[in-house]
Structure 1
Amino acid sequence: MSTHVRHPIWLPALRPADARTFASLYAVESFARATISSVIPIQAYEILHNERIVSILYTIVSLMGLSVTLFMPMLIRRFARRWVYTAGCVLLAIGSAFFVTHTLPGQIAGMLCRVMGASALSITLNLYIMDHIRKTDFMQAESLRMAWSMFAWTGGPTLGIFLYTHFGIYAAHGAVVVFAFALLCLFWFYRLSDNRSIRPGGKTRPANPLANIGRFVKQPRLRLAWLIAFGRSCFWTTFFVYGPLFMVITGQGELAGGLLVSAGNALLFVAIFWGRAGKRFGGRRVMTFAYFAMSAVLFAAGGVGEAAPLLTGALLLCGALFTIALDALGSTAFMRSVRSYEKAQMAAVYRTYLDFSELTPPLVYSVVLTFFGLGSVFVTLGILAAFCGFVTWRYLPKAF
């Protein structure tokens, strides 16, 4: 029987990808990004010594990363999803190598690699989710994904600050390399690229970025989905960047900034309950409520400002609680609206909400901070949240 070949049993026995598959991938990815989420703005402040210039730096990097996001469908079409996802993991690790130089060029290069890596991972993962998860299960799958990421976004920022302050810059950024490698191994273990239900990205339509933007803008439901995602992402950008800066500037210390971010992310476990609330009361009602509640606490945080830093931090945590409802439910507005034959192209345009949410707030805040104190940042964000809440209530279908 020398010609008889015994195939390994575990290969065909690997269960099909489901919500837990993508939740685990997103959790490990979150560890790779969350570990230095509080370190990066503090490191930038140490280099530049000015919060306004830090805002300008974030604006420049986000603008550079935006073009990469728009061209992502062309990369997926040329190299296939699995290789774009792999490149995303590698870029996170390369970014850490630039960060350890602790120079302005290294800081810019590291932030750019981080933006490009996150873009590649986000777009490809969303495509896999839309191919494997039924539309009726999107809400539950997304809330599970957010809940699993709680561990990363809770412990990651504090871990990064602890490593940075006690063991140095190499320890903090070295942890990112470890998590990025673990993510890469887990992705190839799941072998998502071998699933025949996943069509090669971008082959059914040309991937011209300008044409993709035009098709996206012409679809009202996709525009609304983008605005919902943009509003909630602006909160997290502000929370991650200006939360730690606020604590440092008001004399609470770097560790307090890391603890604030970790405490906000610890609330991610409520994503499961927000998902259940959306299923019971409707996504439109829950998301509208979340936006208006977020707006109210941001106005309060801006009013308190530097007079009582700990109270301001507590109000920001309340804002995070309501933003998590939008994390759990918001992306389903896009997943239920996008046409199957243009998922890759529209996913890339939709993903620009993250780039714009990292680009627009620092740009606006750099102007606002010229005339007002740091608390004005939270008031400005509160105005945006109120606008997003009104548009969500007015235009999102009642049946959603």
Structure 2
Amino acid sequence: MATHVRHPIGLPALRPADARTFASLYAVESFARATVSSVIPIQAYEILRNEQIVSILYTVVALLGLSVTLFMPMLIRRFARRWVYTAGACLLAVGSLFFVTHTLTGQLVGMLCRVMGASALSITLSLYIMDHIRKTDFMQAESLRMAWSMLAWTSGPTLGIFLYTRFGIYAAHGAVAIFAMALLALFWTYRLGDNPSIRPGKTRPANPLANIGRFVAQPRLRLAWLIAFGRSCFWTTFFVYGPLFMVITGEGELAGGLLVSAGNALLFTAIFWGRVGQRFGGRRTMTSAYFAMSAMLLAAGAVGESVPFLTGALLLCGAFFAIALDALGSTAFMRSVRFYERAQMAAVYRTYLDFSELTPPLVYSVVLAFFGLGSVFATLGLLAAVCGFVTWRYLPKSL
């Protein structure tokens, strides 16, 4: 009918994506991952009753997750970035279903879903950030992202332990599913679009082996990977062996959760480190942070199990300097990668997280066969010293 007019439906206007957009997404994602960050290693220890076998379990999961990370560009080409991000959030929720079985198989599959989900979320979010944030603003944006995640990484581990010990396994892992769905709703509310340069048919072939070769051929990318690997090894050790250290030394599960939460509470200093980096330069700041972190870890290894709370305090000091690397480290990659191969190189760069979950447990399982639990922290301190030297020697002063 001529009198029947179909009026257009107005969609609410959204402001362009900026640093706060990605900080909010990362904050909600952090809640989904942090809530059971202390529960998972304790749950694995309850099932296996051996810290060395727990290390082997983490090694197996990281090795399986590594292959998924390398094939992520192919998934992005095939299904588009927004669907890969969606799948990543869903995998965090699905992993909770396996964890509640409290069996070795459920633990393995749940950990694998968690690793795959984190990989998908990390790579796609990095691509969105590089699309919408100027290179000169990377340092500020990354420090803001870390600072906004402070509440999640501070309260999440303690909340998870509280739910696990007070209300049981379903409450702890059910909270993860709720946060994962909230992340999904927030992401689709922002309606982030894919960059046309990485849509199917418009990018270079995403062969994983070719991508690795291309990545390794670029010295700046190799250095960025090492910087990220070193600081990620610290957090892997802190999240897994910190709670285990407190349980094994008789301080209890709650002490382990509080240790992790206290370390994560320091994330608010990310903004401080961002300003320090802008004032003194990324090279000088990251080098100093690595050497200071190494000193704290070597001291923690020397004290070991003799004074557990002193060891915990030294680990917290190490966390303070690790946050400097969280706030500044990724800028080395973002400023070095070429625009047309961001998706491929981001996937290879993301393997630092897989290797940081794979290598330390593998090395520690050997070290623990000969020395006490404090040797774990001393070993990590040596790695931090090496990373500090390489950063000082090869990172450009202009960064």
Corresponding residue for residue 8 of structure 2: 6
Corresponding residue for residue 270 of structure 2: 271
Structure 1 residue 139: Cα displacement: 0.2
Structure 1 residue 226: Cα displacement: 0.0
Corresponding residue for residue 372 of structure 2: 373
Structure 1 residue 203: Cα displacement: 3.3
Distance 1:164 1:313 in 2: 22
Equivalent position SS for 1:373: coil
Corresponding residue for residue 293 of structure 1: 292
Structure 1 residue 199: Cα displacement: 4.2
Q: Quick check: 1:42 aligned with 2:42?
A: yes
Residue deviations 1:295-350 (CA, integer Å, cap 9, x gap): 00000000000000000000000000000000000000000000000000000000
Distance 1:306 1:191 in 2: 50
Residue identity matched to 2:287: T
Residue identity matched to 1:364: V
Residue identity matched to 2:72: M
Corresponding residue for residue 207 of structure 1: 206
Corresponding residue for residue 157 of structure 1: 157
Corresponding residue for residue 311 of structure 2: 312
Corresponding residue for residue 320 of structure 2: 321
Distance 2:349 2:200 in 1: 16
Corresponding residue for residue 261 of structure 1: 260
Distance 2:242 2:171 in 1: 23
Alignment of 1:132-281 (within 5 A): 132-193=132-193, 199-200=198-199, 203-281=202-280
Residue deviations 1:177-201 (CA, integer Å, cap 9, x gap): 00000000000000002x6667427
Runs of 4+ in 1 over 3 A off after TM superposition: 195-199
Structure 1 residue 8: Cα displacement: 1.4
Residue identity matched to 1:166: R
Equivalent position SS for 1:307: coil
- Structure 1: gaps (5+ residues): none
Residue identity matched to 1:86: T
- Provide closer, same or farther for how the CA distance between residues 375 and 196 of structure 1 changes in structure 2, counting only shifts above 3 A: closer
Distance 1:346 1:19 in 2: 22
- Provide closer, same or farther for how the CA distance between residues 292 and 9 of structure 1 changes in structure 2, counting only shifts above 3 A: same
Q: Quick check: 1:61 aligned with 2:51?
A: no
Residue identity matched to 1:390: F
Distance 1:325 1:58 in 2: 26
Residue deviations 1:247-275 (CA, integer Å, cap 9, x gap): 00000000000000000000000000000
Distance 2:117 2:203 in 1: 25
Residue deviations 1:339-398 (CA, integer Å, cap 9, x gap): 000000000000000000000000000000000000000000000000000000000001
Distance 2:386 2:300 in 1: 18
Distance 1:389 1:198 in 2: 36
Alignment of 1:333-352 (within 5 A): 333-352=332-351
Corresponding residue for residue 364 of structure 1: 363
Corresponding residue for residue 117 of structure 2: 117
Residue identity matched to 1:99: F
Contact 2:274 / 2:328 at 8 angstroms: preserved in 1?
yes
TM-score with structure 2 setting the length: 0.98
TM-score with structure 1 setting the length: 0.98
Fraction of identical pairs, as percent:
84
Distance 1:320 1:236 in 2: 8
Q: Quick check: 1:303 aligned with 2:302?
A: yes
User: Aligned residue pairs: how many?
Assistant: 397
Distance 1:356 1:381 in 2: 14
Equivalent position SS for 1:109: helix
